[in-house]
């Protein structure tokens, strides 16, 4: 049975004091874990604190990004080994903000995926179409190409380290959510794409999260769809009560 997951991407929010407070609140809210995994992705500056604070809680910690090289002269960057050395074994790659503002393309992301795999990390791989793609009815092709360019060369065995996060760019931080039907339609397409390229077992086992303006009010309906295995949550993950409500909607 594939895993259900709700992950909170805090983006460039929460200083150390705010991180401490939010984590303390989350540990109380998730004293009884829901039927699935809860992950938080704070800023890299607070990863080490978070990793230590969450020990024994059942809540997992992820990085929001990492560099594709193992080490070297890459000022300002963070390596897989550095993350692992502070107990961070999960990394978000390919978020649309990394693609849009930091020039991360499919080729670069394929390299990051390889490095994360080599370092035995779990990858939450994000992708999704822009508004123009949906308007011009090319959203399925765009999504298929994003998967193809970054993930189609993977060994079958690598898929146990991959979580997919479909995030239509037009729904991120906009308050506009894909309808549960739109999410299900795309998630089913993604699963079929993986099945056709790899096999049915891999397609059935891979968790596909939905991201884009998920809130306590809409989470349950979206997560109830058969091919939606949870969510990647931005804005609503910054508040313990709303993130807990979403986590409990799994």
Q: Which positions are catalytic? A: 95, 167
Closest separation between CB of residue 47 and ligand PGA, Å? 17
Least distance from ligand PGA to the Cβ atom of residue 39, Å: 12
The total of other beta-carbon atoms located within 10 Å of residue 156's CB is: 10
Interface with ligand PGA in residues 164-203 (CB under 6 A):
167, 172-173
- Count other Cβ atoms within 10 Å, centred on residue 200: 12
CA dihedral sign, ordered 43, 174, 140, 200: positive
129 contributes a contact to ligand PGA by CB under 6 A: no
The reply to whether 219 sits near ligand PGA by the rule CB under 6 A is: no
Q: Cβ 11 to ligand PGA, closest distance in Å?
A: 7
Residue whose C-alpha is closest to residue 235's, from 222, 220, 221, 216: 216
| CA dist., res. 216 & res. 225, Å (int) | 16
**9 is an interface residue for ligand PGA by CB under 6 A:** yes
Tell me how far the alpha carbon of residue 240 is from its chain's centroid.
18
Which part of the chain contacts ligand PGA (CB under 6 A), choosing from 67-75, 76-84, 184-192, 234-242?
234-242
Instruction: Confirm or reject binding of residue 146 to ligand PGA (CB under 6 A).
Output: no
- Per the CB < 8 A criterion, the answer to whether 69 and 16 are in contact is no
**C-alpha 115: how far from its chain's center?**
17
Per-residue x/- mask for ligand PGA, residues 36 to 75, rule CB under 6 A?
Answer: ----------------------------------------
Size of the site for ligand PGA (CB under 6 A): 13
């Amino acid at each position: 049975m594939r895993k259900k997951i709700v992950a909170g991407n805090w983006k460039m929010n929460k200083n150390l004091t705010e991180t401490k407070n939010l984590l303390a609140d989350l540990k109380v809210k998730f004293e009884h874990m829901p039927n699935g995994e809860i992950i938080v992705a704070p800023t890299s500056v607070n990863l080490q604190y978070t990793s230590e604070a969450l020990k024994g809680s059942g809540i997992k910690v992820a990085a929001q990004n990492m560099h594709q090289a193992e080490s070297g002269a890459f000022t300002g960057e963070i390596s897989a080994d550095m993350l692992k050395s502070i107990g961070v074994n999960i990394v978000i790659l390919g978020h649309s903000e990394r693609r849009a503002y930091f020039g991360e393309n499919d080729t670069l992301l394929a390299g990051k995926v390889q490095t994360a795999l080599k370092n035995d990390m779990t990858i939450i791989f994000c992708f999704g179409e822009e508004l123009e793609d949906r308007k011009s009815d090319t959203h399925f092709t765009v999504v298929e190409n994003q998967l193809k360019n970054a993930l189609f060369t993977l060994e079958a065995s690598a898929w146990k380290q991959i979580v997919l996060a479909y995030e239509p760019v037009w729904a991120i931080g906009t308050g506009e959510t894909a309808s549960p039907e739109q999410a299900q339609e795309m998630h089913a397409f993604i699963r079929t794409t993986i099945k056709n390229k790899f096999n049915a077992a891999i397609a059935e086992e891979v968790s596909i999260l939905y991201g884009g303006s998920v809130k306590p009010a809409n989470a349950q309906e979206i997560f109830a769809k058969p091919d939606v295995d949870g969510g990647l949550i931005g804005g609503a993950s910054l508040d313990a009560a709303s993130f807990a409500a979403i986590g409990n909607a799994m």
